[in-house]
Each structure stands twice: as structure tokens, then as C-alpha cells.
Structure 1
Amino acid sequence: MSFDDDWAGIKTAAQENQTAMRLNQLDGGGGGGGGGSQQGGSLRVEQSDLAAVGDAAFSLHQRLDTDGDHAKTSTQAAGTAMKQDFALGPALTTVAEKWNEQVNTLLDACGHISNHLEYSKKTHADDEYWIATRFKFEQLDAGFEERAQH
């Protein structure tokens, strides 16, 4: 069976079951609310959630930094030693190089996540402090009440 035949069959099945799939509105059931405790599908993130993600990224970075290189030295040494007599030697060296590249990519990603979350936390705390020290909320409330009367 060709792709076109498969695709035509999938489209026909989807049209027959069209009432079962609704992508343009929230399901009336209990899903989609982060455990059912929030109404309207609101997304809410607490500082503790961000801190947990940042801590996990930092911990993963620390472990990868130490554990990611355990096999590199011995694999490269084996590849170099076998280069003369076996075709596997250069392949082992290539595997060690690719592994090292992948570990470094993961280290960069973990560091970026951890640093960004720390930066975001500090920036938001600074913003909160700036707002709290610059605004008098009584004046804002009075302004909103005055505007509501007109």
C-alpha cells in the first residue's frame, strides 16, 4: 500500500470521526487544568517550580561534567592503539569524539537553563522590589476609582 493510499484512508477515517476531535475549544471534561485544581486552563508557575527546574539542571550539569568523561580517555587510548592493526581503531576514536561533543552540548544546555532561571528569578525579584518602592497602591486605587466614576 502506498503513502497516498494510507493518507487517503487516514483522512477518510478522520472525517468519519469528526465529532470526536475538537481542537478549537477546551474539553468540557476534567482535563487540562494542571490536576483539576485550576479553572479555565490557567498556567501558573511558582518560584519554587522554577527553582526546582534550575536546581535539576544545575545538578545534571555537575554530574555530566564529572561522569560524562569517564570512558573518553580509555576509548580514545584503545582507538589509538588499534589504529594500526584494526579498522575498529579509528571508529572508536570517532565515537569518543562524538560522545565528547554530545556531552558538551548537554553541558551547555543545562548551564543555559540553570543560568537563565537564576537570572529570571533575580530579575523578577528586582522588578517586584522596584514596583513596591516606587508605587503607592493607594494612589493607584484612587485613580482607578476616580476613572470608574466617569
Structure 2
Amino acid sequence: MEDYQAAFIERYYDTEMLDKSGRKIGAMHFGGVTIECLLKGMIFATLPNSASKEWKTDNNNPGHTFTNPGHSYTEALKRHNKLKSRIDKLPQVRKWLDEIENPIGQHFIDIRYSSIEVNNENYKSWFNTYQKLIKWLQKQATKL
């Protein structure tokens, strides 16, 4: 069974190490995964205690109707109505999500195959947005 909260923490540290090592594409890839894990952890936190913390599939009924959103932030937000509603009221946060999900014009999952070198200015902007988004999401997690 996935432990998205623990995975979030581990991927956060991975992203920090890649950032400190100057591995920009790796940091952007793992940064995207970090946010994905945080969102999925927030979804699971909304489940009733009686439900199993796993995704519903054709062969598995964990006591809720949430299917795995894959690597899509938009699909993840569809599974967390309160968070989606807050983000819909804050265009800046929606912009942050888009920047982290699609750095350098490609989805964060796909950039792991990229050989594009990101210039320092664009990377610093991305990393700053990544840090703001994590702080904002974590703040929401304590309020939802």
C-alpha cells in the first residue's frame, strides 16, 4: 500500500539534494513527483477512517470511490473538492500548479527523458514557485 505522506517527505529531500547538486532537470522531475505525493496524501487524508487508504479499481473496493489520478494534478484536484474550490478562487496558485506540473513546457514525468539544459534564471523561478506551492498546500492540509 502506498504511503504518500512518507513518499512526499522522501521526494522532498531528493529534490533538495538534486537542487544543491545543480541537477536542475532531476530536481524539476522529482519536484513534480513531490507535489503529486503531497496532493495524493491530502486526498487520502479526507477518507473516512473506515475506508482503506488505497485507490478504487475494478477489482478493489476500498470503501470509497476515488480512483488513482495518475500523474495529473488536475485529476488529483477533482478528487479533493475543498482544495479544488480554494485553488479555483486563487489564480496565482493555479498558475503555480501549472508551472510545477509542466516545467520547460513538458509534463514533469516526461522531462526525465529530456536533455534540455535549463538556464539558471528559469530554474530559480521554478524552484521558488515549487517552494511557495509546498508551503501553501501544507497550510491548506492543516485547514481542510
What TM-score comes out, normalization by structure 1 length?
Answer: 0.27
Structure with the greater alpha carbon radius of gyration = 1
Richer in helix (by share): 1
Task: Name which structure has the greater RCO, CA cutoff 8 Å, separation 6+.
Answer: 2
What TM-score comes out, normalization by structure 2 length?
Answer: 0.28
